[in-house]
A and B are shown apart, each in its own frame.
Chain A
Amino acid sequence: MSVPARRTRAAPLVIASATAVGAALAAALVLALGVAAGRPDVAVVAVPVLLTSFWAGLRRPARMTGLRLRSAPGRVESGEIRADLTLDSDAGVESVLVRVAAQGYRSAEALLAADRARVVGASLQTARTGVHELFRVDTISHGFGAVLTSDPATVGPIPVAVHPLPRPLAQMPLPFRLAGLTGNHTSRRVGEGYEVHDVHEFAPGDRLKRIDWRVSARRAYDPRTGRLGTLYARRTFATADATVMIVIDSRDDVGPDVETWAGGTDARMDAATSLDIAREAATAIARAYLDMGDRVGLDDLGRRRRPVPPGVGRGHAERLAQRLLRVAPEGWPDKRERAPQLPSGALVVLCSTFLDDEAARMGRQWRSHGHRVIAVDTVPRLSTRYLTPLQDTAFRLIMLDRAQRIRELRRTGVEVVGWNDTSAAELHAAARSRTQGGRR
């Protein structure tokens, strides 16, 4: 993604601040008082303030500070996010008051020396992923002694695309039926491959290099004639690739604090929400399958738009990552009557909170169509600490309903894994298991 940058023109210099004018007038009054009373020692007290104003007038800057804000170059992942603020100041500018803010964060303020052009960094920590508007910067330039000040100038916020942290997964479950004629997996069909299926009599269509001379010599050698009778050839299992469809349920995005589920309060930026977990899971699973040479596609239950068709390669991984970054809840989509059509025999990875029946219904339909379905539970570790008794009761009812829904999914043959520290082991176990309905 291109690195966004925002810029403002150098703010024009405005007149002296009201407090500076007041101080200069008071100092002039004291000076006049001292002179009128014949007390130079009184007049001297006003000298520092008058000298400051005088010096500020002499060193009046031609223009105030110009600003340019850009996010740090390169791929941005959750954790620390940086942005660079370039201050382009005139020689007469003594300092710049900088205030950096972002939604969900406490702002930071600093008074910086600005006598020359310089770059100042700003950073924040986030556990969130996706595209966020971050780093709104407000500045006020000060001349010498803050006698002259500029109008506030604002730059940003800038859109920052935050990718989930990579998470390696070792062994992944495969669909019940492998497709294609090449790939890294061994299918049940006989064909070109590496794993031996059996040894049988040479037949039309067998390649000569498949003849197993040792077996032929052992079984078909006639010692009386000194000739071979029937030739035997080795047959192997064909290789194939898997088609995986990752389906994200972007209809809701719930944070760890259950009190925020009703709206009105934003989820915290230092804790991952369900959609962040879904992004991380989808990215890691897609990466694992693509690394194995399989075909991976992406669909979104929350949007009626064309899915990303299954594909392979690094470019396709980037395409999936970009689509995942922009997954976000949009209104309340119409209820689907039928599950989206998926490639035949594809493994379905369904990432959802299962807080309502829609995603679970889709999962059951796909399973009934013969797909292997793996449901990834994306609800984060929840905190109910601040719920009122009424809210707590409602929450318990919702979670009971959800637990019942997940039990129903398991009963219909959908494998359910949570996305946590043990999810890699759970996926490994799913890869080793022989689920009912599969032919392997």
Chain B
Amino acid sequence: MSVLDRLAGSRPEHPRPRISIEGAAMVPAWVVAVAGGLVTALGVTVLVDEWVVGALVGAAVAAIRHSAVATGLLVLGAFWMLQQEPDPVRCAVLTLVVHVAAVTARLTGPLSLTGAIETRLLIRVGAAFAVIQVIAQALGGLAFAALTGLPPMPWVGVAGMLAVCGAVAAGISWVRRSTD
């Protein structure tokens, strides 16, 4: 019995035995939460050039694991971007960071830190994440093309759009094939 337990007058609880869920390969929820927090911290640090702010936001994403954090990040990021000059890198990074925070909260929010996430689900969610990111980043690229004026060769834009659509269709079919 430790000194603290003696002072508190309570017996140390020997942990009860644990039930295990036996599915396919699993990843602990805390690993996903920490990974999401790290990506968010890195992205915010790139945006504001302040590692303390990045660390705080990353810690909030990893520790709170609630969609409200991602929603707050979206609103605050949008207002912050309004104060800045348009920048394609900043737009791309913020789009990625908000999406990572939302997916991290969606995966780890319902679970306790001792919970687990099936690897097959992670692959499926990751593939959907990639498809949505491709679409969003492509739209970001088009937005900046519209802001700075269309390129002198319109066929380049058409080819780019076709490439994006092809990539999206290939991604969706790959998700279906690899997770069924």
* A105/B22 in contact, CB under 8 A: no
B1-19 to A contact mask, C-beta < 8 Å, 1/0: 1000000000100111111
User: Given known contacts A30-B75, A48-B98, A95-B121, is B21 in contact with A120 (CB within 8 Å)?
Assistant: yes
B139 at the A interface (CB under 8 A)? yes
Q: Which of A20, A42, A94, A120 contacts B82 (CB 8 A)?
A: A42
Instruction: For A44, list chain B residues within 8 Å (CB).
Output: 91, 95, 136, 139-140, 143
A25 to B51, CA, bound (A): 30
Instruction: For B124, list chain A residues within 8 Å (CB).
Output: 94, 113, 115
B166 at the A interface (CB under 8 A)? no
A55 to B132, CA, bound (A): 10
Instruction: For B95, list chain A residues within 8 Å (CB).
Output: 44-45, 47-48
User: Given known contacts A110-B26, A111-B111, is B16 in contact with A104 (CB within 8 Å)?
Assistant: yes
B77 to chain A, nearest CB (A): 6
* B16/A105 in contact, CB under 8 A: yes
A98 to B116, CA, bound (A): 10
User: Given known contacts A104-B16, A105-B16, is B118 in contact with A112 (CB within 8 Å)?
Assistant: yes
* B17/A125 in contact, CB under 8 A: yes
Among the stretches A32-40, A197-205, A234-242, the one at the interface with B is: A32-40
A151 to chain B, nearest CB (A): 14
Interface of B is mostly: helix
Q: Which of A37, A105, A113, A124 contacts B118 (CB 8 A)?
A: A113
B55 at the A interface (CB under 8 A)? no
A421 at the B interface (CB under 8 A)? no
* A33/B82 in contact, CB under 8 A: yes
B12 to chain A, nearest CB (A): 9
Q: Which of B67, B71, B86, B98 contacts A39 (CB 8 A)?
A: B86
**9 A-B residue pairs with CB within 8 Å:** A29-B75, A44-B143, A45-B94, A100-B19, A104-B17, A110-B115, A140-B110, A146-B110, A268-B14
Q: Which residues of B come within 8 Å of A, CB atoms?
A: 1, 11, 14-23, 26, 29, 66-68, 70-71, 74-75, 77-78, 81-82, 86-88, 90-91, 94-95, 98-99, 102, 106-107, 109-112, 114-118, 120-121, 124-125, 128, 132-133, 135-136, 139-140, 143-144, 146-147, 179-180
Q: Which residues of A come within 8 Å of B, CB atoms?
A: 19-20, 22-23, 26-27, 29-30, 33-34, 37, 39-49, 51-52, 55, 94-95, 97-98, 100-102, 104-113, 115-116, 120-126, 135, 140, 144-146, 259, 268-270, 385-386
